[in-house]
Amino acid sequence: MDVLSDQLLVGALLAYLTAMVSFAVHNALMPRQSAPTAPRELAAVASGAHGSGAGLATAPAAADAATRTALWAERAAIAATTVAAVLHAGCLAARGLAASRVPWGNMYEFVMAACLVGVVAYLALALLWPALRPLGLYVTSAATVLLGVTGMSLYTAAGPLVPALNSYWLKIHVSAAATASGLFLVGFVAAALFLLRQRHDRRAAAGAAALTRGSAAARLPEAALLERLAFRLHAVAFPLWTFAVIAGAIWAEAAWGATGDGIPRRRGPSCRGWCMPDICTRGRPPAFGGQLQRGSRWLAGAPCCSTCSPST
């Protein structure tokens, strides 16, 4: 089963790569999202409307062909991501059967579980809100990189846990931490893309057409939608991570005692991972109607990096 798990991981990586390429084709061909237009751009368009219209006849046909290709690429990307998630889940299940325990007993398995939660969360969001599907390029890219780096640097052969770790608290603490980390991953992607989209909109509103024409940020969802998504994902993941920190402290005391050597090993990542989403959620007014403060947006990636950092 251990060999089967490794083979399924390779299959999941190939499927994620296929999804990533398909999402890239979709993002390159899909129509750009609307953005604020500067007055001088509107004047240029109005003055050009009275000029030659020789190329206008073929433009709609080319646009329709590109749109059809983009739609097929999007469907292929969603299908490949779904297949990758199934293989990914099978990889974790095979690890659990090979070790006769839950498959999140070390950092290799933890990062794999967190990535799976992030991908499943994205698929759910893409099903409910199709406007968020362009995020798939960045979610699958992050999953591919994380799984590849984890497989090369954190790989551990499947086996039983040491007696101190073989506790029912493993199922409670690590499952909550992996779920929160996966949501933090998607929240980080949404926050980073929000910053890019907001910068693009500011330049477009200022009339910097040369800087915004052909930009990848022009094909992202609206900035307000990305901002709401980033905040809500952090708002959901933060209580889960808080529970995981509390459960981890109880587990550590039961395993090693109040002054045991095992407690400081996870104190740093746990506390950093708890403080950063707290700053992110406090950066927005309580009414949930305003935008996150700029510093909080930049910190949105810190919880994901901190919670996935190896213990030292």
Q: Angle 223-256/263-282 helices, nearest 10 degrees?
A: 150
- Going by pLDDT thresholds of 50, 70 and 90, the confidence category of residue 162 is confident
pLDDT at 158 exceeding the cut of 60? yes
**Where are the alpha helices (H) located in 49-106, listed in sequence order?**
59-99
Pair 177, 107: CB distance under 8 Å = no
Q: Extract the tokens encoding 126.
A: 């893409």
- Looking at residue 52, its pLDDT comes to 45
Task: State the average pLDDT for the chain.
Answer: 78
- Looking at residue 97, its pLDDT comes to 92
Average pLDDT over residues 253-258: 71
Half-sphere exposure of 158 (CA within 13 A, CB side): 20
Average pLDDT over residues 196-222: 76
- Looking at residue 113, its pLDDT comes to 95
- Looking at residue 127, its pLDDT comes to 93
Domains and CATH numbers, the chain: 1-34+66-161 (1.20.120), 164-312 (no CATH)
- Going by pLDDT thresholds of 50, 70 and 90, the confidence category of residue 63 is low
Q: Extract the tokens encoding 26.
A: 């979709």
Average pLDDT over residues 219-238: 91
CA distance 151 to 153: 6
- Looking at residue 249, its pLDDT comes to 84
Between the alpha carbon of residue 219 and those of residues 17, 28, 33, 214, 222, the distances in Å are: 21, 8, 5, 9, 9
The alpha carbon of residue 53 and the mean position of all alpha carbons in its chain are separated, in whole angstroms, by: 44
3-state secondary structure 150-210: HHHHCCCCCCCCCCCCCCHHHHHHHHHHHHHHHHHHHHHHHHHHHHHHHHHHHHHHHCCHH
Is the C-alpha dihedral spanning 291, 296, 300, 303 positive or negative? Answer: negative
Q: Extract the tokens encoding 298.
A: 């930049």
pLDDT in tens, 41-61: 444 444 444 444 444 445 566
Q: Where is mean pLDDT largest: 23-37, 78-92, 288-302?
A: 78-92
- Going by pLDDT thresholds of 50, 70 and 90, the confidence category of residue 287 is very low
- Going by pLDDT thresholds of 50, 70 and 90, the confidence category of residue 18 is very high
- Going by pLDDT thresholds of 50, 70 and 90, the confidence category of residue 14 is very high
